[in-house]
Amino acid sequence: MRKIIFANDEYFHIFNRGANNQEIFLDDEDFWKFFNGLRDLNNTTYYEDRMTALGLYPHNCKALGALQFQELRSFLAEKKKIVEIVSYSLNPNHFHLILKQLVDKGISYLMHKLGMSYTNNFNKKYNHSGHVFQGPFKAVHIDSNDYLLWLAGYVNGNIEIHNLARADNYNWSSYRALCKALGALQPPSPLSVLGGTDIILSQFQTADDFKDMVKTVIQESRAKKEMREYLLERI
């Protein structure tokens, strides 16, 4: 039984990795599947609700065409969000999220739907059976603004902390989208912020200030032995 209590209007660091440390994102399509799930499943609707809205449930469920995808996105955009997604990083064998819960059980609802959706797609796509993730997702309560800012640096710089890529040249985190929101023209991002970023953006005057903070956290996380306890996953 999970000991942590997800309280509304509180921030949490959510993370998990692949079962047996396996990679969970094998190509760009996998990254997009997870990212789109973060965006589209952030509400209280379930599969039946979404298909009913398109007139496809229960007797006519099938693969959606481009027009139906647009209709579905419009339908979901009108639904009340259950969490705010402050930051994210999708690495080959694990992910990190900073979430603020907006409604009761919001984080649990989102992560359950996201985990089920992604696992079903992964297993079907790769003819895989069993668990994709290493058990239930992990969660840490973020109990101060200093910790929130440090974790924002940690999450957005995570890929560089692990020496896999430069944070400012990685497609699958919120780093470049946050820089864009702060006015930076470069580097461009294929992804977007997903809402709830004001708590971070309001504390930096420029994108360079944000970049400097992330760079500092990367250096601290890689260099200081006493920071190892904060490296919340192995790679």
How many separate domains does the chain show? 1
Contact 172, 32 (CB under 8 A): no
What pLDDT sits at residue 185?
78
Q: Which amino acid is at 229?
A: E
> Is the pLDDT assigned to residue 10 strictly greater than 80?
yes
User: Which long-range contacts link 173-179 to residues 24+ away (Cβ below 8 Å)?
Assistant: 173/87, 173/88, 173/89, 173/90, 174/87, 174/88, 174/89, 175/89, 175/214, 178/87, 178/207, 178/210, 179/207, 179/210, 179/211
Q: Determine the longest span between alpha carbons in the chain, in angstroms.
A: 59
> Is the pLDDT assigned to residue 142 strictly greater than 80?
yes
For residue 126, give the CATH number of its domain.
3.30.70.1290
Per the domain annotation, does 153 fall within a domain?
A: yes
Domain interval for residue 40: 16-44+80-223
pTM, entire model? 0.85
Per the domain annotation, does 174 fall within a domain?
A: yes
Per the domain annotation, does 148 fall within a domain?
A: yes
Per the domain annotation, does 61 fall within a domain?
A: no
Judging by DSSP bridges, how do beta strands 94-101 and 83-91 pair with one another? antiparallel
> Is the pLDDT assigned to residue 164 strictly greater than 60?
yes
Residue 224 CA to residue 231 CA, distance in Å, equals 11
Contacts of 177 by beta carbon, 8 Å cutoff, 6+ apart: 189, 191, 192, 193
Per the domain annotation, does 51 fall within a domain?
A: no
Query: CA–CA distance from 155 to each of 64, 136, 213, 221 (Å)?
Result: 33, 19, 12, 11
pLDDT band at residue 231 under the 50/70/90 scheme: low
Per the domain annotation, does 228 fall within a domain?
A: no
Residue 100 CA to residue 106 CA, distance in Å, equals 9
Per the domain annotation, does 89 fall within a domain?
A: yes
Residue 205 CA to residue 10 CA, distance in Å, equals 24
What pLDDT sits at residue 107?
97
Per the domain annotation, does 184 fall within a domain?
A: yes
> Which position has the higher pLDDT, 233 or 119?
119
Provide mean pLDDT across the span 140-153: 96
